[in-house]
Amino acid sequence: MENSEPEPDIAILIPGDNSQNHPNSAQLIIEIANTSLSFDRKKASIYAKGNVPEYVIINLIDHKMESYKSPKDGVYTEVRILSRSEEFSSNSVQGLSFSLESILS
């Protein structure tokens, strides 16, 4: 998994021309997890090592969101589990916030 290129469900990229090459960085990555929950949690270390500022797992099993922010030395230093009604607010994408409830409604 160390040399893998994860394919996220949603990636908000750093502005620029990504039409010719596969992007190598993102501002925010979102995974929607049902059967892939344990695998998506393992991806957090890949994204942290790649200095992706924010990583969110939409956990459909437990009806929660997992928010990972502030990577340092290959580890996210801020991890929060959000209930269905709590809002995720992005630090890296201005004005972006959402709750699991708003997505699933």
Q: Are residues 93 and 27 in contact, defined by beta-carbon separation less than 8 angstroms? A: yes
Tens of pLDDT along the chain (105 residues) come to 455 566 888 888 876 655 555 455 789 999 999 999 999 999 999 999 989 999 999 999 999 999 999 999 999 999 999 999 999 999 999 999 999 999 988
**Considering the domain 10-104 in this protein, what is its CATH number?**
3.90.1570.10
The predicted model scores a pTM of 0.87
Distance, CA of 58 to CA of 60 (rounded, Å) = 6
The residues spanned by each domain of the chain are 10-104
